[in-house]
Amino acid sequence: MDDQLCLLTVHAHPDDEASKGASTVALYHAEGVRTVLVCCTGGEEGDILNPAMDNDSVRNDIKSVRRQELARSAEVIGYDEVVMLGYRDSGMFDSEAGGYRECFAGAPIDDAVDRLVRILRSERPQVIVTYPNDPGGYQHPDHIRVHEITRPAVNRAADSTYRPELGAVWAVSKIYHSAWSRSRIVARHEAFGQLGLESPYDERWFERPDFDHLITTRIPVGRYAGVRRQALLAHATQIDPASNFWFGLPAELDDQIHSHDEFRLAMGELGSEVPESDLFAGLRAVKAVG
């Protein structure tokens, strides 16, 4: 193993890194862990949800604008490196964007896997955070493709016989899937009600499958809880600062509800305590930070 711990996250679009585990990444970066973001697409199909940004100048240069937003968000979070996998946003299932030859969901899967293999062998992370394949959850084609390529890339990166030109072999120790628990949705929904505010959570949120029992890891993010909100605001085209969903609760209360980030271990061994409070549980005995 190398001398420094490395956490690598694989996300589909600019802004996903802000809404999923941003505070955890900030925490580890502050500890001296190397933090790497792989963003698979440019987010070209993202709707402009902030009225202040909805103009011809932004629409006509959306790829560049979203890349700039990603850079600001990554700086807020504390990513040491941002690597673009190089695909075009596929849009939703009924989008015309799915017909683009270079779109992520339509590209040859082996090509996407091998691009990620090269990155894994170069960055040499012990831990990866990515997406589960949850029925009933956010079934965006690019999120599904992220799930589809990550485990094969980890397997190929560790295979000494597989394409040595992609770099020296590297074995990832753990894969985690980001999670958003039912209990957190309930806590936010109830907080809106207690304050006499309209909740953004309708019955459809509570019809989704309950995967709370699969959560293996809760990272207490402490003073980094607010990083999530700051990173979201960096994506000015995608996040309306007046959004009730993202910012409808007072910041201090929201930070209390989001006092930890939630994950599910998908590959590797759990630490001695469950739920874990460290993505590197079981690895630090043989690896020192810094």
- Alpha carbon distances (Å) from 160 to 149, 153, 247: 19, 13, 48
Domain definitions of the chain by residue range: 6-286
Residue 277 makes CB contacts below 8 A (sequence gap 6+) with 217, 218, 219, 220
Q: What is the pLDDT of residue 136?
A: 53
Q: Please give the mean pLDDT across all residues of the chain.
A: 92
- Alpha carbon distances (Å) from 108 to 38, 86, 101, 149, 207: 18, 13, 10, 11, 34
**Residues in the chain, overall count:** 290
Pick the CATH number of 6-286 from 3.40.50.720, 3.40.50.2000, 3.40.50.10320, 3.60.20.40: 3.40.50.10320
**Residue 129 CA, distance from chain mean position:** 7
Q: What is the pLDDT of residue 100?
A: 61
Rounded to the nearest 10°, the torsion over CA 260, 264, 270, 275 is 40
Q: What is the pLDDT of residue 111?
A: 97
- Express each pLDDT in 95-114 by its tens digit: 655 456 689 999 999 999 99
CA atoms within 13 A on the CB side of 126: 21
pTM over 0.85: yes
Q: What is the pLDDT of residue 288?
A: 42
Q: What is the pLDDT of residue 289?
A: 44
Phi, psi angle pair for 106, to nearest 5°:
-100, -5
- Express each pLDDT in 125-178 by its tens digit: 999 999 998 755 667 899 999 999 999 999 999 999 999 999 999 999 999 999
CB 65 within 8 A of CB 237: yes
